[in-house]
Amino acid sequence: MRTAMRVLVILILGVAPAWAVLGEYESSVSVDQQYLKGEIREQVRPGYKLHQITASNGTTVREYVSPDGKVFGVAWSGPFAPNMQQLLGSYFPELDQAARSQVRRRGGPLVVRTDKLVLVSAGHMRSFHGHAYVPSLLPNNVSAEVVR
Amino acid sequence: MTFRNDSKAMLARFLAVLAGALAIVACGGSSSTPTPTPTPVANTVTAEVNAGPANNSTNMLFVTVTVCLPGTTTCTDIPNVQVDTMSEGLRVLSTALGTLGSSLPTIQDSSSNVLQECIQFADTTYIWGPVATADVTMAGEKASSVPIQVISNPAAFDVPSSCLTLGNPGPQGNLNTVATLGANGIIGLGNFAQDCGGACTSASSNPPAQYFICPQNVCSVPAVPLNDQLWNPVALFAADNNGVMITMPAIDPGGQATASGSLIFGVGTQTDNALGSATLYATDTGGDIRSSYGGISYPAFFDTGSTGIYFLDYATLGITECTDTYGNPTGFYCPASPVNYTVTNTDGNGNGTTGSATFTIANADTLFSNGNSSFFAFNDLGGDSGSGPSSDSVDFGMPFFFGRTVYIGIEGTTVPNGVSAPNGYFAY
């Protein structure tokens, strides 16, 4: 029984980071870097850390890490939209839920504001930008406006 | 990777260019006779905002597009195709194509894998389906052997599984039916010649997950030459191929059931499409200009494909949002009385051109209930674009086009007034 559990735990750990990012621990950032095949830069800012990954196709993804090591926000800009499922992880379903209230709205940005998630997916073909953050994970004294 | 239709499409385009060159030589050589005035090509089609084919469309601008089997007179008129000035290429529901849907030649690689596309829009909606070639005709203008997307019925084509990792896989994301698309297709007539461009032409540069081949239902992202990507069909017209002009009538601020205007091909190429006194704003490499409000500059663009004017956010503007019966935002603004806004636009190419733009935002809940909820054209429908100044933008959507003439210039074309606009432009 114990052996089986151990195997299961390892399997989950092996798979989970592929879905990690928003709300996950910092280690998931390197998985994004592999996915984006990009260059990564790290900066320490007052109250948080910023990882910036620039993909070879020109799209930049920025991930914001709180002092306790969790990704509290992600932002992107560039000619192509990132993989939203990969970036948003377990928060991704919020997107469709919120979109169901916006049935007459089409073609512009998508703005989602729920208790769990704030997300903006904006721009147009050849130029996308947006951000997503988890309000409950924002570090003290850090404005949501830094996630840009 | 090369695709099979390359040689044929390129030959067709080469022949078209050759025919043009021969015509010029013929004119230049006949010095003893007066130079014949070229007969202007009919360059105008009716463009109308109405309820659309699913009777559920809000502020969607429709035209009829004729799609033909390349090089033949086997054609189908597709009504209710949405004009989108912020995307490129024709995408048509296979159901609207009828028998043409299965007979248009698909673009295939050397192993007969059909090129598929998953196109994602900023609002996380997506369209999928194979790429085929067709002759595309509007008024007297024709784009020969242009790659278009056939929006699939589930039964007819393989769905690239990677498609669903990009867009919203929920019901709100899927635009592959007439009910969800609210149209029979979308025709992208924006600033660019192709929908992806150079980024998709090299497999080594990590191309975006936009084009796919799916042998044995395992999809991968190939390099796709420009000729095989979806093209803005205007860029392939023999004449009037440098952009479009859209003229819409002024409408009642309470909304209307329909509003009928014109889509005119070419800018400054005929007597009916002169720039006149319009101010021309060159775009940046991504297709944006800048728009300032309250001392902050935002990315801005002009998009017939946006149902509203999506302008900053409710908190920054101090405007009331509309909510549904569950208290969730519907994405529109609901001020107690209409609010007038003036923004300052600046070009995106460093030319220093500036000018103002004015618009009004009214209560969306009221607008939608006017006329017993039978109105589909609104010039004062607005909503949020972001969650604060760091994510906000100015999306001059369909409401802005009523009562105006707006020009959209294609990258790399001659600009009538000589302004530098290598990435294209907007003018109004």
Domain region containing B331: 243-427
Cβ-based contacts of A95 with chain B (< 8 Å): 124, 168, 170
Same domain, B325 and B248: yes
Residue B305 lies in a domain: yes
Q: What is the pLDDT of residues B10-36, one digit of tens each?
A: 444 433 333 333 333 333 344 455 666
The whole-model pTM stands at: 0.90
Q: Quick check: helix, strand or coil at residue B74?
A: coil
Residue A27 has pLDDT above 80, yes or no: no
Residue A62 has pLDDT above 80, yes or no: yes
- Domain stops at, among B188, B219, B236: B236
> Do residues A127 and A59 make contact, with C-beta atoms less than 8 angstroms apart?
no
Q: What is the CATH number of the domain that holds B62?
A: 2.40.70.10
**Distances, alpha carbon B362 to alpha carbons B87, B254, B289, in Å:** 27, 9, 25
How would you class A143 by CB atoms within 10 Å of its CB: exposed for 0-12, middle for 13-18, buried for 19 or more?
exposed
Same domain, B147 and B198: yes
Same domain, B286 and B419: yes
Per-10-residue mean pLDDT for chain B, 428 residues long?
Answer: 53 38 39 62 97 95 98 97 98 94 93 91 90 97 98 62 66 86 97 95 81 86 96 98 98 98 97 96 97 98 98 98 93 98 97 97 98 96 97 98 98 93 98
Mutate to test the interface with B, among A50, A106, A121 (most CBs of B within 10 A): A106
pLDDT score of B34: 61
Distance of CA B58 to the CA centre of its chain: 16
The ipTM is 0.89
Same domain, B261 and B122: no
Q: What is the tally of structural domains in chain B? A: 2
- Domain stops at, among B184, B207, B236: B236
> Do residues B426 and B406 make contact, with C-beta atoms less than 8 angstroms apart?
yes
Q: How confident is the model at residue A100 (pLDDT cuts 50, 70, 90)?
A: confident
Same domain, B248 and B178: no
Same domain, B308 and B228: no
Q: Do A127 and B397 touch (CB under 8 A)?
A: no
Residue B73 lies in a domain: yes
Measure in Å the smallest separation between the Cα of A4 and chain B Cα atoms.
31
Q: Strand pairing of B185-189 and B88-93? A: antiparallel
Chain B's closest residue to A115, CA to CA, is: B328
CA–CA distance, A60 with B39 (Å, rounded to integer): 49
Residue B22 lies in a domain: no
> Do residues B92 and B112 make contact, with C-beta atoms less than 8 angstroms apart?
no
How high does pLDDT run on average in chain A?
81
pLDDT score of B312: 98
Same domain, B169 and B251: no
Q: What is the tally of structural domains in chain A? A: 1
**Distances, alpha carbon B128 to alpha carbons A3, A67, A93, B423, in Å:** 45, 41, 21, 27
Same domain, B74 and B198: yes
pLDDT cut 70: percent of chain A above it: 81
CA–CA distance, B123 with B208 (Å, rounded to integer): 17
Cβ-based contacts of A128 with chain B (< 8 Å): 122
Q: What is the pLDDT of residues B297-336, one digit of tens each?
A: 999 999 999 999 999 999 999 999 999 999 999 999 999 9
CA–CA distance, B127 with B121 (Å, rounded to integer): 9
Same domain, B203 and B119: yes
- Domain stops at, among B203, B236, B269: B236
Same domain, B334 and B368: yes
Distance of CA B26 to the CA centre of its chain: 37
Residue B21 lies in a domain: no
